[in-house]
Structures are given as structure tokens and as C-alpha cells.
Structure 1
């Protein structure tokens, strides 16, 4: 698509929980965002009022001396909490994503206050454990108040806490004295940006192949222009904790830390995942999403990710995909929420939990661009036709940049058999690629002599296209473009808002503007003249910091209630192994056939296919304990199975043993993350 500049940089529960938050979760501090001291008091008060079901401890201590709090919820009278399958909820890894911590706190209150009166909540806390980390980044969160002029997802670097994690390229100044740092634009013959056709408040990159000439240069408001290309030593700036985990770690990029899990908070979380072997599923409240729309079947690692070995997975395993798809459907049914999360989840905790720990891992932003501002709900599949974002089929004029040079090209996408044919025409020649399309997204690849494999992937929004081109050893570059002529019909854009400011653009930025206008939110600073000490006359404007990250505080309770209901449902789906039958059959001469049958009656399997592939979690193990006078004739005394599927799936284990009648044989079953250690005694008779 034409790039616009973001001018700041299940089941029965679906019926029971449809609608607003339950009555027992209507009280609490949910009419504002809480700083560290307020959140600490709320957590301790909640745990103190429900001491029979909740405990709180310091999970980690930050560079600035703040505690990261861990809430542990569950009924210890029905079993050891560290043996029961557990749901882990993690929030506020990004410093400014405060709606995540509010939702995590609300979820804890929902569970504790609903125990005894809500059947599903009571079942969850009786049979499962829930770990909640409401705010993983308390140092960074304080910047929401301490440096409110900026949009900062990082924790500050220990050497420069006053900079809030920003590096010299990101430090601006409030030129127009409105209390926020947005963007500034300057008319210049070397400019690469033009005012958007549908809404001139927005800017998009000029497409020279369409005879467009750039008009503006764009900078951070008030930045010292000598700092625009300043050298930033590796690891000298603040860290986005949700970029600091190992899977698809962005080496040598800003704000990812000097190395993987370099921060106290992320190291503590990674250690917890390894040590707390009853964690069976993970739910993260972060800007990324795989619940409103599940991860595509095939995906390319985000731009900047170093190529890994062929054995390193980058896609959800085929055997796991149906579970992710179904849970996504249940999320939408339970919450009624749709939309898209932020792109580029490289180095995130949610990815680490699935790809490197092998757990079912789900993530949701809690709040995204509300649906009423982004268009009507998609029609059912049998009625929908092309995807809501538009069809990828057609001719596109695209622009990309390589080594600082702008290049224009054309891309033709057509259907071929069951896939797509992509013709990429550039000054270097024509290249034919083949691939697949799913909804408003596509991906194609092919071999080019002298370069090896190249690939292209992108996404359509109306008549605009954006994506990346991977050029083998030359790296990966982003592109944007517009549709040329016709193509398959795209879904109609949302109706324009009424009034003088109404616009018809279909990009997220257009839709945000319509949402703010309809909701009466002052979310955008109109372009106003200002004077820059080096550039002279400029205009200042753009989206206000954090208005697209956190919803108005008045919306917290409803959003959090929907997510608390989903978390309750999800926790009850985690797998659990039970011994459902032991059978002894006499074979004569003191020989007995012993059969033990295990079952998993919950929805999720005891282990994902990814978990079995990476061999991180131990398989389900059944062992007959050595017994005086007993000899095992056939069958290993200890037997294993990688996993047991859910919904009543069973697995049986058989031995032939020789022992006197009446011998009592202890048997143990161990199911890591699916019930822990169980034991029974089998009598040979």
C-alpha cells in the first residue's frame, strides 16, 4: 500500500460470557491507568483479601529498584499448585502498553471474586494454577508519566535514566509548546513525501513511477539534525523487553538489548519458563496478535532477522495449526473483538514461549483500532468474495529503496492453477515468482541466476500494497505501492465520517483519524507553523503519543472483562493426564498381563507438535516400580508417549510380569505440564 507516515513513531462459556464484565468484577481501580505505587497497592490489597486463593511475591527487581510482582492463584486445598497444569499471563512488556497491566489485574480480580459463584472460574482455580505477571516493565511504565511527551515502549538504559531509553536519533523538542513531541515536515526539493490524496493531514511516500514528485522532508519534532544519522553504540539505548527474547532475535538492531535476555526482567521470565514445569499455556497482553486472526500458514521472519539454520522453525507446526485456529475462533466468539495487532513480533516473549519452549502461546493487544472505525464486519466465508483488505490480484506500481537509492518497479499478480503468479519488473529485468495468497496477504518466491532464491510477501489494504522483498545475499527491503488500473474487486472501504474532516482513505492512519473524530478524542495535532533552530520554517503535527496504544480509561473495564472471560476459558482447556483404567489378566504359571490406560479429557493435547519436535518437554512417562518377587518379562518397565491428544484421547501401556498372586505393584505416571506426578497400586489377582 502507499505508505502513510504514522506521525509518531469452548465451549459453553461462549454463551455464559458474551457481553459485559460479570457483576463480581465491577469494582476496582479501572477508571485510570496505574503507576507503580498504585498498582502495587492494588495487587497487595487483592491478594490480601483472598489469601486462601492468592499469593504475591517479588518476581524480579529492576535496575531502578522496583519490584516485578507475581500473583499465584489457585486452591491449594485441592492439590499442590506447582503440580497442577498452569496458565501463565504476562502483560506490560512494552513500557507504554498500560492497558495490558490493567487487563491482567482485572483478570486476577475476576477469578478471585468469581470463585464460588461462577462455575467455570471455580473449576479453574480448583483444578488449575494461574500465574499472573501484571507489569513486566515497571521502570519503563513510569515513563508514561515522567516523559509523557514521547511514545516510549522501552525501559531506560541504566547509564542514562533521564533519556527514557531514547537514543540521540530519537530526542526531539516541543517546538510548538503543546506538551508533546510529534513530527515536523519541511518543504524541500529533495523531499520524498507528499500529502495524502484522501487526507492531506497524512503523508505518504511519493511514487515516482506514477510521475509523483516528493514535496516534504520529515523529521522528529525538534530533533537536532546533526543527530539524525548519529552513531548509536550497540546496547547503549533503552530496551523493549518484548524484543529481548531469543527466537528471531534482531541482532545489531536498536532497542533489543546487547544480547538475548540481557535484562533482569527478561532473564527472570525465561528462567521461570524453564523452572516452572507445570506451565501448560501462555497468554500475553502485548501489541502483537494471533487471536483476532491466527498466524498465517506460512510466514517469513520479520525484516532484520538473521537467517537461521534450516532446522530452525519459523511457522506454526501443521499439527498445532488447527488448535490455534479453533482457539482464535473461540476468542472472537467470546469477546466479539476483531482487528489486527502490530506487525513484526521478532524477539517477542509469545514467540519464545511457542518456538523455544513448545507451549501453546497466544497474544492479544487487548485494544486495536475499533471495528466501527475500520469498516463493517467481514461477511461469512461463503458470501465474502475477496478479503476485506482487498484482492492481491492486479497490477501494482511499487517503490523500494536499496542502499539509499529509491527504485521504482511494477508487480503483476495473477492467479495460476491453485496459486499465484507474480511478475516483478524492475530496471534489472523481469522475474517470475510463484506462491500462494491467503485473504489480503500473499507470498511468492523463485530462483534468480546469480542471486539464488528471492521472495516477496505483502498485504493489501484497499488499493494500496506494502510488504518486503528478500533479495538473497543483498538482504531484505520494504516496498509500498498502489494499484494500477483494475483488479479483482476489493471490499468497499468504511463509510466516511460525517463532517468537514471526513475522509475516504483505507489505511490504518485514515481509520484512526475517523475514529478519533467520531469518538471526540484529540488524537492528532494539526500541522502548524514553527521555527526550527537549524532548518528554519517548518510545520509541526501528527498523532499524539500513546493514543493508538491505550484506549480511553473509560473503555478499560469492558475490554478487560472480555479478556478475563477468555483467559478463564483458556485455562480450563489445558491438557491433563488421568489414569482411567488398570487391568490385570492372568496368563497362567504366575504370569500376568498388566495394562494401564491414560486419558486426556481436556481440549488441548499434553504437548504441542512443536514441543515434541524441539524435545524441550519430557514425554508422558509410565513406570512400574521395581517390586520384590516381580520380574518384567516383556515391555520396558518404563514406557513413554510423546503426547496424548485431548477430548478423550487415550493411550494404553502393557507389560507381561511374573510374580506371586496378590503382589502389589506401585505404578507412577509423570506428565510434565499436564498434571505432574501421579501414582497408584496394582494388585496382581
Structure 2
């Protein structure tokens, strides 16, 4: 077993070493490849995990799992590593893991954005949203506040500056905590609070954030519903313009056996599903029902609620986001895809009922006190730093302190990391095992004469999802039906039938009602189909029958053509 710990966050070289060690130690289950290079030239590693002895990966239904598309969201890489460890140690020891890897495949990309992660994990971190590529302009900012570790202690805190027109004051409940000044209040000690950092060309009066030199958001660069930068900040110059996104899009588009996707992010402790930009009413009803069922199972297995981005996770009620991975997977690939936001400091502090984004706009003071107590009791006081004086090079005497967001919020503190990422493998296994699975139901040869034979092949979908996955895939004609092929022995010819037949789609069990009622069609055989050929084979021999579906896999058998005795 590779030397792997879940009380640390790995930088690129160590992550690369660990991933290659898995492939070397478990060659029967793990293969590694680079699917592209980042802006700075680092390989983007992809692991294919399956039992290679039971068939080629391309002939099995697959689930895509990725992490760390956003620079400082490094615990998603750990979630991918934990899944990898669960799979290789569980194969042969756990029935569900063994069945899954014998019949299906995981494609795991632990770190889509290695450049940004290196900045976040540096001894003196620099926090950006996504790619390190300058955008939209290749210029250093000439003025404004540039967030950075100004006192060199390895933390990115806040700065509070005494200001009679400041909006914050010291809380009466806890002197470390700042609370909002009352709307009509005067005569107290007030503060202006800004991120820790330096000021370029400070005029002694105005403080504004400097424009970000690195303004890309890779999760706004996917093709579905992509908008220009003026409409969607961070979108990039055109869809999939960035090498990291292009690598992911190319791989997924080139692997039609992928039946779903899960992208790990931080933070909020929630399972997010499309749409990002429109109401649930835009879904085909069957797709919405199925999304809700998959999400409910995710909630049961992970403890995370499952919600719609549009209805429950918008940054502003009048704004939407576009160009996101899960929207692209659903709209352009016709697949059920999720964004998992790992970690909830609020829930850790005992704040159970809160609205994810709205909480940052408005929440009770008691929530802040609970979070402070959690920092004191569970983080040894390191989450929230008491204010301390600092002589700022431009502002003079200020105080540094407040939440160490990189430590306590953006990712789980390392003592909680394993517990948090251990939530997900069971749901990911379940998510893959519900995929459609093409299998042979019956195959037979019936002699019609000394030289002619009726060959029959019956196949069915043994998975829960239909072969096409979503109604959206049918609407947009994204997926072919089942293909049946026959290979004849020497000197044999087809009397009727074609060498290749397209048999349409196969339903699964996803749309069965919750009870056997007195109305409806009952259980039909829409999950099953057949094809027949009449073969003339004077010398007998063997026919090979193959059924394949790009999402449901491949099934194959051989039959003997034996003349009547």
C-alpha cells in the first residue's frame, strides 16, 4: 500500500508519487495517464480503476470523479485519494467493491488545477480562484489592496483599522468578535475591516481591492451556457479555452462509456445539482425525479443535504452562474452530474439549520459565538485568531486577527480530514452501480435444415438507469441505441438479417412506482430486446454474437452451428 496519510495536504510532487505508486502496486486495478498539461506545464493525472482482467475499460459503464479545479480547494484531492484507497483495498474483500470493479470503471482525476494548488499549499500561500494564467490582462496591478501574508507568519487573516466611520465594533459577548454597528449608532470605537495585505500606490485615503491579475474561474469555462467575461466573471475568452478544462472536456467526450460525474469542491457540506441558471421546471420530469432520488441516497450515505444550485445556492438572487462542469455534463453529455462541496464549519459548530449562501448575508450573533466556541474547543483557538498589533508599511498601526479562513473554513483542518472524506466512497460506488449494464439474457441456435440455422440473441439492461441515462440525452440525440453484430464462420452467409443491427434503447428500473397500484401498464419488457438471423453454413462452425452500447457496455458470446444429425 502506498505511503498515504489523511492528516496532511499533498503538494504536486508528493501527489504524483502517490498516484504512480498505486498504479505500480495494483497494476491489475489501476492505470495512470496524463490527460493534458496545465498552464504551467504540469501533468494532469487521470487514474483508470477497474478489474482489467474482466474486460477493457471502454466496454464498461464508468463514473467520472474529480477534484481541486479551484486553487485552494485541496481537500477534494484527498477525497479522490480516499476513494482510490477504498477501491484497491476493498477489491476481493468487499462484495460491492468487487462487483463494481469487475463490471464497471472509475475515472479519477484528483487534481485538475495543479498550478493553483501549488500556490495555495506554499509556505507563504497565495490564494486565487483558479488558474494561475493572467486574465483578462497580463499586467501587474498598479494600485489597490493586494491580499497577502503581510507579517510572514504563514496565515492570511484580516486587518482591522480604527475608523470613526467604520462599520464594525467589538462585541459585548466576546471581545475578540466584531459585530455590525447599529444603523443609527454614534460615539463608539469603530473599525474598518479588510483582508490582510499590502497597498500599492496608497493615496492615504482610499482603499479598494486591486484587480486580480489571475482572474480565471475554470468552473465557468465549460461549454454549456457559456457567457462572455462581461456577463460571467472568470469565464475565459471562449469555451474550454483553458488547458485544464480542455483536457477534461476532451477526455470525457472521448469516453462515451461515462454515465455520470461527481466533482469535489469546498466548502458548505452539500451535494449540488443543476441547474445553475434555470428553474427545476426546465428539466424533463423523469430527469428531475431521478436527480432527486440519487441526491436522497447521497444524503442518506454522506449526511450532506442535496439541493439545486438555482433554487438554493445562488450567490445573488438576481444572478446566475454559467459554464459550470455539472451543467455541461447534463446539458451536453446527457448525464447526471454533481458538485460536492466538502466541509461545513457551521455544522461542526452545531449550526444545523442554515441557508448556505444567505447565511453570509444575515445570521444571528449566536451563530458567531458557536463558531468561536468551536474554534476554542476543537481547534485549540487556531481557527479564530485574537487581534494583535502590527505596524503596517502603508497604514501604520493596525491589528491582525479574525478567522484564519485557509485553515478553518476553506478545507477541513487536517485532524478532521479523514473523517470528512470518508463520507463519500459508498455513495460513489452506489452511483456507479446504478448505471445501465448490458447483459445477454438468452442466445440460441435452432437448425432449420442441414445447412441453415436460426440464430437468436436476446439482451437486457440489468442496471437501474436506462441505457440512455437521461431524457435530455434522448431529446438531444446524444446516444446511440444497442448495436448487435454477428460474425460468421468461413463459408457461411446471411440468409436474413444484417451483420449489424441497431436495436434502440433499453429501459432500466428507475421509473418503477413506489407501490404496485391498480393503474398503469405494470412491468413491461422495455429493458429487453432481441435480434434474429438466418445463417447458411454448409460446413457448420461458430458464430460470434456481440451486443454493445456506448453507455451500457458490451456483451459477447459464441455459439456452435451444428447440422442436424
Residues 1:671 and 1:62: Cα distance change in structure 2 (over 3 Å): same
In structure 2, the partner of 1:525 is 385
Determine whether 1:549 maps to 2:549: no
Measured in 2, the distance between the counterparts of 1:30 and 1:678 equals 42
Q: Is the 8 A contact 1:182 1:542 kept in 2?
A: yes
In structure 2, the partner of 1:181 is 156
Measured in 2, the distance between the counterparts of 1:288 and 1:617 equals 34
Per-residue deviation, 1:52: 1.7
Residues 1:672 and 1:198: Cα distance change in structure 2 (over 3 Å): farther
Q: Is the 8 A contact 2:124 2:152 kept in 1?
A: no
Determine whether 1:219 maps to 2:183: no
Q: Is the 8 A contact 2:295 2:306 kept in 1?
A: no
Give the paired residue count.
523
Per-residue deviation, 1:167: 9.9
Per-residue deviation, 1:150: 4.3
Measured in 1, the distance between the counterparts of 2:411 and 2:463 equals 35
Kindly provide the CA deviation profile for residues 650-671 of structure 1, in whole angstroms up to 9, marking residues without a partner as x.
Answer: 3455789888899999765331
Residues 1:34 and 1:658: Cα distance change in structure 2 (over 3 Å): closer
In structure 2, the partner of 1:286 is 265
Q: Which runs of 5+ in 2 are unaligned?
A: 316-320, 511-522
Measured in 2, the distance between the counterparts of 1:300 and 1:242 equals 12
In the TM superposition, what are the counterparts of 1:56-455 in structure 2 within 5 Å?
Answer: 56-146=32-122, 148-157=124-133, 171-175=146-150, 178-188=153-163, 191=166, 211=184, 216-224=191-199, 232=211, 236-249=213-226, 251-252=228-229, 253-287=232-266, 292=270, 295=273, 301=277, 316-337=283-304, 346-369=322-345, 371-375=347-351, 388-389=353-354
Measured in 2, the distance between the counterparts of 1:317 and 1:60 equals 35
Per-residue deviation, 1:351: 2.6
Per-residue deviation, 1:131: 1.4
Aligned with 1:616 (options 475, 478, 481): 478
Q: Is the 8 A contact 2:69 2:111 kept in 1?
A: yes
Kindly provide the CA deviation profile for residues 554-602 of structure 1, in whole angstroms up to 9, marking residues without a partner as x.
Answer: 3233333332233223222211122324689999xxx999986542222
Measured in 1, the distance between the counterparts of 2:394 and 2:281 equals 46
Per-residue deviation, 1:247: 2.9
Q: Is the 8 A contact 1:56 1:72 kept in 2?
A: yes
Per-residue deviation, 1:77: 1.6
In structure 1, the partner of 2:514 is none
Q: Is the 8 A contact 2:50 2:102 kept in 1?
A: yes
Aligned-pair Cα RMSD in Å:
4.6
Kindly provide the CA deviation profile for residues 634-654 of structure 1, in whole angstroms up to 9, marking residues without a partner as x.
Answer: x99844535522369634557
Q: Is the 8 A contact 2:60 2:103 kept in 1?
A: yes
Per-residue deviation, 1:128: 1.0
Measured in 1, the distance between the counterparts of 2:78 and 2:9 equals 7
In structure 2, the partner of 1:577 is 438
Measured in 1, the distance between the counterparts of 2:434 and 2:114 equals 31
Residues 1:240 and 1:167: Cα distance change in structure 2 (over 3 Å): farther
Q: Is the 8 A contact 1:593 1:654 kept in 2?
A: no
Per-residue deviation, 1:513: 3.2
Per-residue deviation, 1:72: 1.3
Kindly provide the CA deviation profile for residues 15-42 of structure 1, in whole angstroms up to 9, marking residues without a partner as x.
Answer: xxxxxxxxxx997322311111111111
Task: Say which is worse superposed, 142-151 or 276-285, in terms of deviation.
Answer: 142-151
Question: Is the partner of 2:422 in helix, strand or coil?
Answer: helix
Q: Is the 8 A contact 1:175 1:530 kept in 2?
A: no
Per-residue deviation, 1:604: 2.3
Aligned with 1:644 (options 501, 504, 507): 507
Residues 1:611 and 1:207: Cα distance change in structure 2 (over 3 Å): farther
Kindly provide the CA deviation profile for residues 95-146 of structure 1, in whole angstroms up to 9, marking residues without a partner as x.
Answer: 2222111121121122112211111111111111121111111111111232
Q: Is the 8 A contact 1:156 1:166 kept in 2?
A: no
Question: Is the partner of 1:356 in helix, strand or coil?
Answer: helix
Question: Is the partner of 1:72 in helix, strand or coil?
Answer: strand
